[in-house]
Amino acid sequence: MGASWQVEVDELLGEGKTVVEKTAIEKLSKDYYWYSPLLQAKLKDKVAEGAVRIRTEADLKQTLAYAYANRIPVTPRGGGTGNYGQAVPLNGGIVLDLTGYNEILEIGDGYARCQAGVKLGALEKAARLTGQELRIYPSTIMIATIGGFIGGGSGGIGSITYGGLWDGNVLELVVYTMEEEPRRLVIRGEELNDYIHGYGTTGILAEVVIPLAPAKEWQEAIGQFERLEDAMRFSNRVADDPALTKRVISLHEWPLPSYFAPLAKHIQQGKVAVLLEVEKGSLDTLRQYASEEGGEIGYTKDDSHTRKGVSLTDFTFNHTTLWALKADDNYTYLQCRFSLTDYEREIALVKEKFGDEVLMHMEWMKVEGGTAPANLPLFKFTTEERLYEIVDFLEAIGVPVNNPHTWKLSAKSSTYEGMVARKRVNDPLNLLNPGKLYADHE
């Protein structure tokens, strides 16, 4: 990238949008890749050569045209909370900081249209003012952007009812391509799969339309169980009961709950904890199910939708890993999907093989055909060989692993082929976040 890039981009966009200060660029070049000890070593020195703070659609289009003309790689970035180095530029170039491109354009009946840099927390707040709320959001709601969630996330709070990003939770995307004259595409239907969780490799999301749900009053509760099996049965009953409206069912094997420092006085020593967010009025049923499965409901909190004070969702999904890392930075994790019908047996096999080395952290999700736990098991990192022994064992017993220790999009994903084809059309010079699709090298 030539030394004159800043002057040239300033001329195009007006002053004040380019970033050349080294520390700021370094910061904009990192996400939460350090969750993985393998990625930490490989990505720590990767840094962009410059950054552009996008404020308008014209800024976006002109920056892409400039980058194409000068063959400069471009990496889009929202809140920078991705866990796999998705937003880390592997080949220098420009980072597009989209957090300033953040207008909520419309909140209609059942949907919201907004610019990609809108923070999910702000969107939830605005939606609630209209009697609506987000259907799904990551536990990083206060930092993550809607564009970053769609570009690099998968699901989260609400996924027990509404599934993941691919399950009708994105209605429309406005996308810019990386060509001499960047095209503005309006994407709907099946084609959305070419962009969801695509790390910005197939196009830059400018606007998004997502569905909203009618707002509910939520409350939180912690179920405590001596035995993992009982906690799983309880969680599954809550998940499968259509009369219970829920946003989160999150199970944590001991000692994981001991790392949730702000919850210390509500956590029972040695017990499996199930963190729940359910519609107000559900506590009697939760208490009944917990006692029938050999546990109890301890801590409860009303009005969790106001997000005042400590929220149990701050300990779910990949926040669990963060609390464990704060307590002991040797912890690391995997992401895997146990079978819908056979997960109890599969988990028993894992516990038999690895005992307390591999600790269960499960998040119940709506999946095709019912509900099932997504599993983000934690363990202390020793060597890469040991990490892959655990992966190999899981795969050998039929549990697919979404490896969080790579920055590459998985070729096993059902949307992979579509993305590769789309990239060839939308980004013929492979300038969009290069190195993240395997096909980059072809």
Ligand X SMILES: Cc1cc2nc3c(=O)[nH]c(=O)nc-3n(C[C@H](O)[C@H](O)[C@H](O)COP(=O)(O)OP(=O)(O)OC[C@H]3O[C@@H](n4cnc5c(N)ncnc54)[C@H](O)[C@@H]3O)c2cc1C
Query: CB–CB of 209/172 below 8 Å?
Result: yes
- Residue-wise DSSP of 276-323: EEEETT-HHHHHHHHHHTTEEEEEEES-GGG--S--GGGGSTHHHHHH
Task: Rank residues 19 and 290 by Cβ distance to ligand X and give the closer one.
Answer: 19
Task: Rank residues 60 and 290 by Cβ distance to ligand X and give the closer one.
Answer: 60
Q: Which stretch binds ligand X (CB under 6 A): 154-162, 210-218, 226-234, 336-344?
A: 154-162
Task: Rank residues 148 and 295 by Cβ distance to ligand X and give the closer one.
Answer: 148
Task: Rank residues 140 and 235 by Cβ distance to ligand X and give the closer one.
Answer: 140
Site string for ligand X, 303-342 (x = CB under 6 A): --------------xxx--x--------------------
Among 160, 153, 87, 118, residue whose Cα is nearest residue 313: 160
> Which of residues 63, 132, 145, 426 is near ligand X by CB under 6 A?
145
Among 425, 428, 408, 431, residue whose Cα is nearest residue 1: 431
SS3 14: coil
Q: Does 80 participate in binding ligand X (rule CB under 6 A)?
A: yes
> Which of residues 147, 163, 257, 404 is near ligand X by CB under 6 A?
147
Total residues at interface with ligand X (CB under 6 A): 38
SS3 413: coil
Site string for ligand X, 88-127 (x = CB under 6 A): ----------x-----------------x-----------
Task: For residue 40, give both structure tokens.
Answer: 């930490």
Spatial separation of the C-alpha atoms in residues 253 and 331, rounded to whole Å = 14
> Which of residues 74, 144, 228, 249 is near ligand X by CB under 6 A?
144
> Which of residues 29, 36, 63, 83 is near ligand X by CB under 6 A?
83
CB of 98 to ligand X, least distance (A): 5
Site string for ligand X, 29-68 (x = CB under 6 A): --xx------------------------------------
Q: State which residue has the least CB distance to ligand X.
A: 148
Query: CB–CB of 140/185 below 8 Å?
Result: no
Q: Which stretch binds ligand X (CB under 6 A): 79-87, 239-247, 365-373, 417-425?
A: 79-87
Among 336, 326, 405, 391, residue whose Cα is nearest residue 365: 336
Site string for ligand X, 173-212 (x = CB under 6 A): --------------------------xx---xx-------
The counts of H helices and E strands in the chain are: 13, 19
Spatial separation of the C-alpha atoms in residues 164 and 335, rounded to whole Å = 15
CB of 120 to ligand X, least distance (A): 7
> Which of residues 37, 50, 78, 223 is near ligand X by CB under 6 A?
78
SS3 111: strand
Q: Does 257 participate in binding ligand X (rule CB under 6 A)?
A: no
* Dihedral (CA of 40, 41, 43, 44) sign: positive
Q: Does 250 participate in binding ligand X (rule CB under 6 A)?
A: no
Q: By CB neighbour count within 10 A (0-12 exposed, 13-18 middle, 19+ buried), where does 111 fall?
A: middle
CB of 65 to ligand X, least distance (A): 17
Q: Which stretch binds ligand X (CB under 6 A): 78-86, 210-218, 237-245, 411-419?
A: 78-86
Sequence-ordered alpha helix ranges (H) in 170-305: 228-240, 283-292
> Which of residues 33, 66, 68, 149 is near ligand X by CB under 6 A?
149
CB of 248 to ligand X, least distance (A): 10
Tell me the C-alpha to C-alpha distance, in Å, between residue 294 and each of 146, 272, 284, 288: 40, 12, 16, 10
Amino acid at 420: V
CB of 128 to ligand X, least distance (A): 19
- Residue-wise DSSP of 115-161: ETT-BHHHHHHHHHTTTEEES-B-TTTTT-BHHHHHHH----BTHHH
Residues near ligand X (CB under 6 A) are 31-32, 75-83, 86-87, 98, 116, 138-140, 144-145, 147-149, 151-156, 199-200, 204-205, 317-319, 322, 433
